[in-house]
Structure 1
Amino acid sequence: MRSVFLAAVGFCLMVPLAAPVRAQAAEAPADEASRLRKLFADSDEAALKRSPLSALFRGDQRYADQLGDFFSDAALDAQKAAAEADLAALNAIDRDKLSAQDRVSYDVFRWQTETNLKGFAPELVAATQGRPIDHMRGIHTFIPDISTGESAAPYKTVKNYEDGLKRLTSFAFQLDMATARFRQGMAAGVVQPKLVTTNVIGQLDTLLVGGTAASVMMKPVGKFPDSFSAADKARLSADYARVVGSEVNPALARLRDFLKAEYLPVARDSVGLSAMPGGAALYEYLIQTNTTTDLTASEIHDLGLKEVARIRQGMGAVQKRMGVKGELSDFFTFIRTDPRFKPKSKDDLRLRYEAVGKRVNTTVGSLFSTLPKAPLEIRPVPEFREKNDAAGSYQSGTPDGSRPGIFYYNTYDLPSRTTQGIETLYLHEAVPGHHFQISLAQENEALPAFQRFGGNTAFVEGWALYAESLGPELGMFKDPMQLQGRYDDEMLRAMRLVVDTGLHAKNWGRDQAIEYMMANSAMGRTDATIEVERYIAMPGQALAYKIGQLTISRLRADAQAKLGRTFDIRAFHEQVLMTGALPMAVLEKKMADWVAGQR
Structure 2
Amino acid sequence: MLLLAGCASQSTAPTPPTFSELASQIWQAETALRTPAAGTLTDMSAPALAARQQQRLALQQQLLAVDLTTLNEQDKINHAILSYRLADEIDKYRFNGHLMPLTSESGFHTSLAFSFQRNNLRQAEDYQQYLQRLAAVPQYMQQQIALMREGLAKGITQPRIVLEGFEQSIESYIATPEQSVFFQPLLRKSDAITEQQWQAFRQQAAELIAQAVNPAYQAFYDFMVQQYLPGARQDIAASNSPDGAAFYQNRIEHYTTLQMTPQQVHDIGLAEVKRIRAEMQQVIDSLGFEGSFADFVRFLREDPRFYPQSADELLRYAAWLSKRADAQLPRFFNLLPRTPYGVTEVPAEIAPKYTTGRYSGAARDDQAGYYWVNTYALNRRPLYEMEALTLHEAVPGHHLQISLAREQADLPDYRRSFYTSAFGEGWGLYAEYLGLEMGFYQDPYSNFGRLTYEMWRAARLVVDTGMHSLGWSRQQAIDFLAENTALSMHNVQTEIDRYISWPAQALSYKLGEITIRRLRQEAEQQLGDRFDVRAFHNVVLGNGSVPLAVLEQQVQQYIKQVQAN
2:152 pairs, out of 186, 189, 199, with: 186
2:114 counterpart of 1:155: no
Q: In the alignment, is the contact (CA less than 8 A) between 1:441 and 1:579 conserved in 2?
A: yes
- Tell me what 1:77 maps to: 50
Question: Tell me, which stretches of 5 or more residues in structure 1 are unaligned?
Answer: 1-31, 54-62
- Tell me what 1:18 maps to: none
**In the TM superposition, what is the alpha-carbon distance from 1:448 to its structure 2 partner?**
1.7
2:39 counterpart of 1:65: yes
Residue type at the aligned position of 1:557: Q
Distance across 2 between alignment mates of 1:74 and 1:581: 33
1:110 pairs, out of 74, 83, 89, with: 83
SS of the residue aligned with 1:406? strand
Q: In the alignment, is the contact (CA less than 8 A) between 2:340 and 2:368 conserved in 1?
A: yes
- Tell me what 1:325 maps to: 290
Matching of residues 274-289 of structure 1 within 5 Å? 274-289=239-254
- Tell me what 1:60 maps to: none
**In the TM superposition, what is the alpha-carbon distance from 1:501 to its structure 2 partner?**
1.2
Residue type at the aligned position of 1:188: K
SS of the residue aligned with 2:383? coil
2:374 counterpart of 1:410: yes
Q: In the alignment, is the contact (CA less than 8 A) between 2:103 and 2:498 conserved in 1?
A: no
Residue type at the aligned position of 1:136: E
- Tell me what 2:173 maps to: 207
Q: In the alignment, is the contact (CA less than 8 A) between 1:41 and 1:449 conserved in 2?
A: no
2:351 counterpart of 1:386: yes
- Tell me what 2:100 maps to: 131
Question: Would the alpha carbon gap of residues 129 and 358 (structure 1) be closer, same or farther in structure 2, given more than 3 Å must change?
Answer: closer
**In the TM superposition, what is the alpha-carbon distance from 1:444 to its structure 2 partner?**
0.7
**In the TM superposition, what is the alpha-carbon distance from 1:244 to its structure 2 partner?**
1.1
**In the TM superposition, what is the alpha-carbon distance from 1:500 to its structure 2 partner?**
1.1
Question: Would the alpha carbon gap of residues 135 and 169 (structure 1) be closer, same or farther in structure 2, given more than 3 Å must change?
Answer: farther
2:63 counterpart of 1:99: no
Q: What is the identity percentage for the equivalent residue pairs of Structure 1 and Structure 2?
A: 34
SS of the residue aligned with 1:470? helix
Q: In the alignment, is the contact (CA less than 8 A) between 1:332 and 1:521 conserved in 2?
A: yes
2:483 counterpart of 1:519: yes
Distance across 1 between alignment mates of 2:172 and 2:363: 30
**In the TM superposition, what is the alpha-carbon distance from 1:524 to its structure 2 partner?**
0.9
The alignment's TM-score, normalised by the length of structure 1, stands at: 0.87
2:230 counterpart of 1:265: yes
Distance across 1 between alignment mates of 2:224 and 2:84: 37
Distance across 2 between alignment mates of 1:275 and 1:238: 50
- Tell me what 1:6 maps to: none
SS of the residue aligned with 1:462? helix
**In the TM superposition, what is the alpha-carbon distance from 1:226 to its structure 2 partner?**
6.1
Q: Write out per-residue CA displacement over residues 307-365 of structure 1, whole angstroms, 9 at most, x where no aligned residue.
A: 11111111111111122111111111111111221112111111111111221111211
**In the TM superposition, what is the alpha-carbon distance from 1:93 to its structure 2 partner?**
3.8
Matching of residues 150-549 of structure 1 within 5 Å? 152-208=118-174, 210-225=175-190, 228-398=193-363, 400=365, 402-549=366-513
- Tell me what 1:87 maps to: 60
2:30 counterpart of 1:47: yes
Residue type at the aligned position of 1:48: T
Deviates more, 1:230-239 or 1:360-369: 230-239
Q: Write out per-residue CA displacement over residues 67-92 of structure 1, whole angstroms, 9 at most, x where no aligned residue.
A: 222x3233333433333333333344
SS of the residue aligned with 2:349? helix
Distance across 2 between alignment mates of 1:103 and 1:132: 33
SS of the residue aligned with 2:410? coil
Question: Would the alpha carbon gap of residues 526 and 141 (structure 1) be closer, same or farther in structure 2, given more than 3 Å must change?
Answer: same
Distance across 2 between alignment mates of 1:374 and 1:244: 34
Residue type at the aligned position of 1:67: L
Residue type at the aligned position of 1:96: T
SS of the residue aligned with 1:379? strand
Provide the aligned length of Structure 1 versus Structure 2: 549
- Tell me what 1:7 maps to: none
- Tell me what 2:11 maps to: none
Q: Which has the higher contact order (CA 8 A, sep 6+)?
A: 1
SS of the residue aligned with 1:477? coil
Question: Would the alpha carbon gap of residues 253 and 115 (structure 1) be closer, same or farther in structure 2, given more than 3 Å must change?
Answer: closer
Question: Would the alpha carbon gap of residues 196 and 334 (structure 1) be closer, same or farther in structure 2, given more than 3 Å must change?
Answer: closer
- Runs of 4+ in structure 1 deviating by more than 6 angstroms, as ranges, are none
Distance across 2 between alignment mates of 1:167 and 1:136: 25
SS of the residue aligned with 2:164? helix
**In the TM superposition, what is the alpha-carbon distance from 1:398 to its structure 2 partner?**
4.1
Q: In the alignment, is the contact (CA less than 8 A) between 1:104 and 1:590 conserved in 2?
A: no
Distance across 1 between alignment mates of 2:87 and 2:183: 42
Q: Write out per-residue CA displacement over residues 101-138 of structure 1, whole angstroms, 9 at most, x where no aligned residue.
A: 222222333344345444454xx13xx23222334342
**In the TM superposition, what is the alpha-carbon distance from 1:549 to its structure 2 partner?**
0.6
Matching of residues 25-44 of structure 1 within 5 Å? 35-44=18-27
Deviates more, 1:439-448 or 1:502-511: 502-511
Q: In the alignment, is the contact (CA less than 8 A) between 2:42 and 2:140 conserved in 1?
A: no
Question: Would the alpha carbon gap of residues 489 and 34 (structure 1) be closer, same or farther in structure 2, given more than 3 Å must change?
Answer: farther
**In the TM superposition, what is the alpha-carbon distance from 1:491 to its structure 2 partner?**
1.0
Question: Tell me, which stretches of 5 or more residues in structure 2 are unaligned?
Answer: 1-14
- Tell me what 1:564 maps to: 528
Q: In the alignment, is the contact (CA less than 8 A) between 1:40 and 1:449 conserved in 2?
A: no
Which one has a bigger Cα radius of gyration?
Answer: 2
- Tell me what 1:14 maps to: none
